[in-house]
A and B are shown apart, each in its own frame.
Chain A
Amino acid sequence: MKTLNIVGKSLRRADALEKATGTATFSTDLNLPGMLYAKTLRSPHAHARIIEIDTTEAEKLLGVKAVATWKNTPRLLFNTSATMTFTLPNQEPVLDQYIFDNVVRYVGDEVAAVAAISERVAEAALKLIKVEYELLPAVFDPLEAMEESAPDIHPCHAGKNIPGEIIKIPMGDVEKGFAESDIIYENRFTLPIQKHVQLETQAAVAQVSPDGNITVWSTTQTPHPSRIILAAAFGVSQSKVRVLNPPYIGGGFGVRIGLSAKAEPIAVTLAKLTGKPVKVVYSREEDFIASDTRHAGYVWVKLGAKRDGTFQAIELKGVLNGGAYCSFSCETPGVMGAMGLSVYRIPNVSYYGHSVYTNITPAGAMRGFGNPQGMFAIEQAVDEIAAQLGLDPLELRKQNIIRVGDPWILPYSCRSTGLEECISKAAEELNWQRRGTMNEPGSKILRGIGIGVGTHVSNSWPFCVDYDNAYITVLQDGSIMVATGVPEMGTGTITTLPQLAAETIGIPLDQVGITFGDTLTTPFDIGSHASRTLYAAGTAVVAAANDVRRQILEYAGDLLKTAPEHLEFANGLIKKQGLRDSECVGSGVCQLNEVQNFITMKDLAYHAHLRNKQFIGIGRTTPPNAPPWHAHVTEVEVDTETGMVTVIKVAAAHDVGKAINPLIVEGQIEGGVLMGVGYSISEEIKRDAKGKPLHTSIHKYLLPTAADAPEIKAIIVETNDPTGPFGAKGVGECGMVPTPAAIANAVYDATGIRFTELPLTPERVLKKLQEKNKNII
């Protein structure tokens, strides 16, 4: 196999120096000449009709430049999430949002926005807007929202308050499978609302030129789809809209796949009304209450197995709380079913799932995208089967996991799996054999070990529209520019994509520049979501790089009078096969047309330039998807007096295909694990009886800090998937997926109690511990 010089190395991030010195620019840092600041008036009611809205006093306030409401903004339906641009031709995207509407559907819904000379003036003006509401009945739980008596939140055809379609995935015959099972476990699991809490809140700055060209700097993870959405929302041609990151984004985790909540359309609306640049920065509270969350909801699982542990049938059902607008509510239950049923070799499977509109903050994409919810249920069912059969949960998993070539429900093949190796390595890291022997009788602090496994996607094909383009232009000194429409939101894109390009072409990494995250300067790319950026945009970059390499070798072949296949091209030097680098001193290209044995990339590019030629490589790809695999083994401590669960350590072994930059891959895993730990033990947004959210700030919403983060050991397993660039698969979301189940299984190991509801707060845990003690007494 070819020796790799750049791929596989933990090279320093391309954006590290800017970010370490405070010079990196984010949307919230932008400051344009004449720029105005916007603030948004939000609904205090969960469901209401706006009878009257009077902005006169607000408009009179000194420093106020414009006030926007449903009356003076375009009435074109859209969906803030990129589902609007992803949905396949045989399905209808759900468009259910206006920039402002005369009905508000959750506490925090947009009512009006003000542009003023400062945020302070804009905030003061909001207080002067008079709104008369007619209150409408509201519903907050998805099961209640499906009842006939519930209010209709939007028109739906699949069922009461069900957006899009009901997803059904059948394979085999589950009834028969359960009939043939010796043992069956079934239960209902309850999942909370989790919030991304990306460090940079939703933000956008919009500028509209006198001739109507719209430029939006924003925190979007998908500049190109965001352009499509904005063009539709404002009824202008896409060629009039430019969306770009400036160039950095303070985290994403799915919260801005498409628009950054409504930051972009509000900024554009006010920029159009005032003729000046307008900046919208969500406060942290707005970010909590008015930008997408993870889907809460209910998951039912029924798993049947033979006495020897062989799984026979699984039935999974999900009803997710979609909140007030659709966002990604059609796709999320699909991923829950498709991924959840693709981990184990089970001949009979069935999934039924959908979301339900309610009067709470919309739920949308968040790291894991339905998969952590499903796996929380499935992986606990697997442990229950193991416990009832007296089998080691580790061995039971190894016995049943999907192997390469196995039939499964997914519309692409399983071409690689390192799951067994992941299980072994994670278990070894935590010394699995201690399990069951860790507690002294009568101990008040109980310890336990648990495991959770799973898979995910590497892009969203063929479930959604999913393609990438990349250009590589060779500059006249032989350095190159990669153009890709994906952003850099922290995941290392602008480091790893150049690594792929440099390795593929055969030039040093410092010869690679990159333009990214800008619809004006890059070809269309569906953007960063579905753990796809390195896998899918990377495939396009490798294709463009191969195109460049082929052109250069052809050109060099003519020059060196050698067939391209008899040339070597590495480290910026093209030479005849077998020639040592030390023999290639001084290229002498200026003595044109002389027969040579070698030529540098630099000289070749300039040689071509002098002959009116530039090399431009194009990559246009849709890779077929590939399953990443992961196993997490966790150790927890449960204080039986307080109910406090402390996660001591998480060993997270991930089959990522090939780690293009191992340091960056580890960072993805570690961050995902901690987000999963928070989801498992503390993070939750609750509401009062009227639907007002109670967790609206970082302090109220308990996410892990450095002081309470467990030890996390990321373990990389490489299986070289044949479809990925240099064998790579997705990784970004995977750290989230098996974490809740691994923790709940560890808590079960410690306490003997099966917890079916997240998060495992002291209150919840103590209650169950007390119930158990009562039963014993």
Chain B
Amino acid sequence: MNLTTLQFVLNGEETAIVVDTSDMLVDVLRERMLLTGTKKGCGKGECGACTVIMNGAAVNSCMIPALKAMGSVVETIEGIGTLEKLHPLQESFMDEGAIQCGFCTPGMIMSAKALLDSQPHPDGKQIREAIAGNICRCTGYVKIKKAILSASEKLKG
């Protein structure tokens, strides 16, 4: 055990938590902070279910040593909208039928949000590439792609 305090901005709040230097970010989020919205589907950076946004980029939180997040800004599915004002992606995923079992959904939405944050009006190819690291076994990606497109249109206003 080699403990250190991790300080970072999580979902807009200054956060400090003692972690083991060998902890991965996904486990700190899920097991220590009980933010279980971020899912763990493989632990090897292969399924994308644990995607969070770190300093503006979508990352697999199972591949990020927790201390790599020191001083960074991290967003998870719990932080991107409120019940009063959901993120347009959350709205469009619900409306377009892009959610089935829901296990890939948080990571999928986070990858899509990182895309829309940097490229508010992506084309189909950019959408496909942005979520290529997020495996979904339920939907065939049809309605997920449609939902991301629809959210980007909403953002156009």
B102 and A250 contact, CB distance less than 8 A: yes
B43 touches A671 (CB 8 A): no
Stretch at the interface among A432-440, A519-527, A705-713, A717-725: A705-713
Q: Is B109 an interface residue (CB 8 A)?
A: yes
A16 and B142 contact, Cβ closer than 8 Å, known pairs A283-B43, A706-B131:
no
B12 at the interface (CB under 8 A from A): no
A26-B39 contact, Cβ under 8 Å, with A19-B105, A703-B137, A712-B142:
yes
B97 touches A13 (CB 8 A): yes
Q: For residues 136 through 150 of chain B, which have their beta carbon under 8 Å from a beta carbon of chain A?
A: 136-145
Q: Does B25 contact A (CB under 8 A)?
A: no
Please report the C-alpha to C-alpha distance between residue A699 and residue B63 in the assembled complex, in whole angstroms.
15
1/0 per residue, CB under 8 A from B, across A177-207: the answer is 0000000000000000000111111000000
Is there an interface contact between B134 and A706, defined as CB atoms closer than 8 Å?
Answer: yes
Cα distance A10–B146 when bound, in Å? Answer: 16
Contact status A250-B101, CB under 8 Å: yes
CB-defined contacts of A10 to chain B, threshold 8 Å:
97
Contact B132 A671 (CB under 8 A): no
| Complex interface: chain A residues within 8 A of B38 (CB) | 22
Q: Is the CB of A22 within 8 A of B137?
A: no
Q: Is B56 an interface position by the 8 A CB rule?
A: no
Q: How far is the CA of A598 from the CA of B144 in the complex (A)?
A: 46
> For the complex, is B83 an interface residue (Cβ under 8 Å from A)?
yes
- The distance from the CB of A671 to the nearest CB of chain B, in whole angstroms, is 5
What 0/1 pattern do residues 108 to 137 of B give for CB contact below 8 A with A?
010000000000000000011101111111
Q: Which of B45-81 contact A (CB under 8 A)?
A: 46-47, 49, 76-78, 81
User: DSSP majority for the A interface?
Assistant: loop
Q: Measured between alpha carbons, how far is A675 from B38 in the docked complex, in Å? A: 25
Is A698 close to B, CB under 8 A?
yes
A20 touches B94 (CB 8 A): yes
Cβ of B36 under 8 Å from chain A: yes
Contact A200 B41, beta carbon cutoff 8 Å:
yes
- Complex CA gap A399/B35 in Å reads 58
- Residues of chain A within 8 A (CB-CB) of B78 are 21-23
CB distance A199 to B131 under 8 Å? no
Given contacts A200-B39, A250-B103, contact A21 B83 (CB under 8 A): yes
A770 within 8 A of partner (CB): no
CA distance A475 to B93 in the complex (A): 32
Interface size on B, residues (CB 8 A): 55
- Asked if B132 and A22 sit within 8 Å, CB to CB, the answer is no
Using known A-B contacts A199-B137, A706-B132, determine if residue A284 contacts B44 with beta carbons closer than 8 Å: yes
Residue of A nearest to B143 (CB): A667
Q: Is there an interface contact between A698 and B103, defined as CB atoms closer than 8 Å?
A: no
* Contact indicator B100/A667 (Cβ below 8 Å): yes
Q: How many residues of A are in contact with the other chain, CB < 8 A?
A: 56
A518, CB-defined interface residue at 8 Å = no
- Bound complex: CA of A663 vs CA of B37, how far in Å? 25
Check: B16 CB closer than 8 A to any chain A CB.
no
Flag if B137 contacts A671 (CB, 8 Å). Answer: yes
Q: Cβ of B96: which chain A residues have Cβ within 8 Å of it?
A: 663
In the docked arrangement, what's the CA distance between A385 and B36, Å? 55
Residue in A closest to B42 when the chains form the complex, CB atoms: A284
Contacts of A199 in B (CB 8 A): 39, 41, 47, 49, 101, 103-104, 135-138
The distance in angstroms between the C-alpha atoms of A180 and B106, with both chains bound, is 60
A251–B103 touching, CB < 8 Å = yes
Residues B99 and A16 in contact, CB atoms below 8 Å apart: yes
| A284 and B47 form a contact (CB under 8 A) | yes
Interface residues of A in 1-43 (CB under 8 A from B): 10, 12-13, 15-26, 28-29, 31
Q: Would you call A248 and B42 a contact (CB within 8 A)?
A: no
Question: Is B95 engaged at the interface, CB distance under 8 Å to the other chain?
Answer: yes
For the complex, what is the distance from the CA of A707 to the CA of B77, rounded to whole Å? Answer: 23
Bound state CA distance, A607 and B100, in angstroms?
A: 40
Question: Chain A 503-519 against B: per-residue CB contact (8 Å), 1 yes, 0 no?
Answer: 00000000000000000
Cross-interface CB contact of B137 among A12, A19, A196, cutoff 8 Å: A196
- CB contacts under 8 Å to A, within B1-59, are 30-31, 34-44, 46-47, 49
Q: Out of B95, B101, B140, which one reaches A709, CB within 8 Å?
A: B140
Question: Is A697 part of the contact surface with B, judged by Cβ < 8 Å?
Answer: yes
A697 and B46 in contact (CB under 8 A), knowing A199-B104, A667-B139, A706-B144?
yes
**Which residues from 104 to 129 on chain A have a C-beta closer than 8 Å to any C-beta of chain B?**
none
CB of B27 to closest CB in A, whole Å:
9
How distant is B76 from chain A, measured CB to nearest CB, in Å?
7
- Determine if A490 and B95 form an interchain contact, defined as CB atoms under 8 angstroms apart: no
Are B137 and A197 touching (Cβ within 8 A)? yes
Residue of B nearest to A281 (CB): B40
Q: B86: CB under 8 A from chain A? A: yes
Across the interface, do B135 and A698 meet the contact criterion of CB distance under 8 Å? Answer: yes
Query: How many Å lie between the Cα of A666 and that of B143 in the bound state?
Result: 9
A29/B36 in contact, CB under 8 A = yes
Q: Would you call B135 and A703 a contact (CB within 8 A)?
A: yes
Interface centre among A17, A19, A250 (most CB of B within 10 A): A19
The CA of A23 and the CA of B105, in the complex, are separated in Å by 11
Q: Is A17 touching B101 in the complex (CB atoms < 8 A)?
A: no
Q: Which residue of A lies closest to B133 (CB)?
A: A705
The verdict on A636 contacting chain B, using a C-beta distance below 8 Å, is: no
- Cβ-based interface call for A271 (8 A): no
CA–CA, A284 and B44, complex, Å: 9
**Contact at B99–A19, with CB atoms within 8 Å?**
yes
Contact of A670 with B142 at beta-carbon distance under 8 Å, contacts A198-B137, A697-B44, A698-B135 already known: yes
| A249 CB–B CB distance under 8 Å | yes
Determine the distance from Cα of A671 to Cα of B100 in the docked complex, in whole angstroms. 10
Q: Complex Cα distance A29/B145, Å?
A: 27
Verify if A458 is at the interface (C-beta below 8 Å from B).
no
**The 6 residue pairs across chains A and B that have the minimum distance between CB atoms:** A22-B37, A490-B101, A250-B103, A19-B102, A22-B77, A674-B140
A-side interface residues toward B, CB under 8 Å?
10, 12-13, 15-26, 28-29, 31, 196-201, 248-253, 283-284, 489-492, 663-664, 666-667, 670-675, 697-699, 703, 705-707, 709, 712, 714
Selected A-B contacts with CB under 8 Å, 14 pairs: A16-B99, A20-B86, A20-B90, A21-B77, A24-B102, A29-B30, A199-B103, A200-B41, A200-B103, A667-B143, A671-B137, A705-B132, A705-B135, A706-B128
